Amino acid sequence: MKVNTGYIRDLKEDSRSRFIRLKGIPEEENEDTAGKIVELLEYLGYQIEASDIERANRVGSKSEDRAAPRAIVVELASYKLKQSVLVEAANKLRHTAYSVMDDETFVVMDDEQIDEIPSMDGKCGKITEVGEPVTYKKSGRMFGFWGRDAYRKESTSIYIMEHFYRNTLVVEYARLVDFIKDQPLTNYTVPYNWAGTGHQIYDGSVYFNKFNTSSIIRFDFASRKVAAERTLPEAGFGNMAPYQWAGSTDIDFAADETGLWVIYATLQNSLDIVVSKLDPKTLDVVKTFRTNWRKQWSGNAFMVCGVLYVLKKYDEKYTGLNFMYNTHTEAFKFIDIPFTNKYEWNTMVDYSPVDGLLYAWDRGHQVTYNLTLSNTAGH
């Protein structure tokens, strides 16, 4: 089934290799759609003729109040022109109401393919419910990271990394109760300031983004040294493509049952979310998946069982998970799973495959969430 799914996807993507999708362009009766596209491309710095546009048309149903214009799908004359336009638009339009996206990422698969998730001996499935948050402590600053080693099941240590910049101190507590009682076991000083709150503890190392760079770092706790350092190809940094609250959250590590991931955005993908599987030792990119969901629209994001889930809002008490992307089938789906930000300023959400909990840092409070999974593959 997976081979057939991939083949069908490849055929659909090949047919859209020169297509872009534009959002936010005002819609009018009897409009010259191609002319609007030429005007926008001229603003981006391209001198083109209408003949460079093979076709351009609105897609979707008209809204009755016309408050939201329909997207325009455009076929350009060449793949090279398309790639150039995507980069320029991501740069020049990111603070406007307009966006230009790669239409290849809008390939729609059947629902059964979207939900096809290997069970991994009964451990995996699709999230069907997020429990209410359980608060353990209010500690440190408003922003931060907390969690446990997402690889070593035998480890009971809890790690704390406060703030989203100008800090290099990782504090380890032997057990959760020691964290609650503020009795640290030890601490580590990494050689660089980190960026954001999207760190990860995995197999005895801490992974983080070096501040104001696209460099990703693995710092080994045992040797207290940097064990690997790589530039994440094409990744945005320095608040080019953070989550909604900014805070230098451009690059976000994640871990699940399938391994170590990094969530980020690139100009080449219109600043929409990109997910890459990493080699945990070398930090080499093993495989990359492009989504059509804008990272700056996202409250946060995390991985569970090879599936990306996006949080709609970080600063609304009652919000939800509203987007999922399945890396097993390379298919996306809009979802609506209720999620509570108890303290209404949730700046870190990470999944731990060792205990099946979500860990979050909500306005200085350290909280967890239980997840309910429903298996949809059976293999």
CATH number of the domain at 135, please: 2.40.128.630
Q: pLDDT confidence of 378, banded at 50, 70, 90?
A: very low
| End-of-domain residue from the set 106, 124, 151 | 106
- Residue identified by tokens 């460099």 is 215
Q: Are residues 273 and 139 located together in one domain of the fold?
A: yes
Report the distance separating Cα 184 and Cα 174, nearest Å: 7
Q: Are residues 251 and 164 located together in one domain of the fold?
A: yes
User: Which domain range does residue 201 map to?
Assistant: 114-374
| End-of-domain residue from the set 55, 85, 106 | 106
Q: How far is CA 227 from CA 147, 150, 230, 279, in A?
A: 21, 18, 11, 13
- Residue identified by tokens 């907390």 is 146
Listed residue (271, 286, 297, 365) closest to 327, CA to CA: 286
| End-of-domain residue from the set 56, 85, 106 | 106
Q: Are residues 152 and 92 located together in one domain of the fold?
A: no
Q: Are residues 187 and 327 located together in one domain of the fold?
A: yes
pLDDT at 201 exceeding the cut of 50: yes
Average pLDDT, the chain: 91
> What is residue 272's predicted lDDT score, i.e. its pLDDT?
95
Catalogue the E-assigned strands of 103-224: 126-130, 134-138, 144-147, 158-162, 169-173, 186-189, 194-202, 205-210, 215-220
Q: Are residues 240 and 140 located together in one domain of the fold?
A: yes
Q: pLDDT confidence of 30, banded at 50, 70, 90?
A: confident
Which of 50-59, 65-74, 247-256 ranks highest by mean pLDDT? 247-256
Q: Are residues 44 and 146 located together in one domain of the fold?
A: no
Which of 91-100, 133-142, 189-198 ranks highest by mean pLDDT? 189-198
- For the segment 130-166, what is each residue's pLDDT rounded down to a tens digit? 999 999 999 889 999 999 999 999 999 999 999 999 9
Q: Which helix (H) or strand (E) holds 92?
A: helix 79-92
Which of 7-21, 80-94, 297-311 ranks highest by mean pLDDT? 297-311
Q: Are residues 309 and 329 located together in one domain of the fold?
A: yes
pLDDT at 109 exceeding the cut of 70: no
- CATH number of the domain residue 102 falls in: 3.30.70.1820
Record the pTM. Answer: 0.87
Would residue 87 count as lying in a domain? yes
> What is residue 1's predicted lDDT score, i.e. its pLDDT?
46
- For the segment 217-243, what is each residue's pLDDT rounded down to a tens digit? 999 999 999 999 999 999 999 999 999
Would residue 242 count as lying in a domain? yes
Domain count, the chain: 2
Percentage of the chain beyond pLDDT 90 is: 68
Q: Are residues 123 and 219 located together in one domain of the fold?
A: yes
Would residue 194 count as lying in a domain? yes
Listed residue (370, 379, 346, 291) closest to 128, CA to CA: 370
Would residue 2 count as lying in a domain? no
Q: Are residues 24 and 100 located together in one domain of the fold?
A: yes
- For the segment 317-370, what is each residue's pLDDT rounded down to a tens digit? 999 999 999 999 999 999 999 999 999 999 999 999 999 999 999 999 999 999
Q: Are residues 97 and 179 located together in one domain of the fold?
A: no
Would residue 9 count as lying in a domain? no
Q: Are residues 74 and 167 located together in one domain of the fold?
A: no
Q: Are residues 233 and 139 located together in one domain of the fold?
A: yes
Would residue 356 count as lying in a domain? yes
Count Cβ atoms below 10 Å from residue 341 Cβ, excluding itself: 24
> What is residue 339's predicted lDDT score, i.e. its pLDDT?
98
Would residue 134 count as lying in a domain? yes
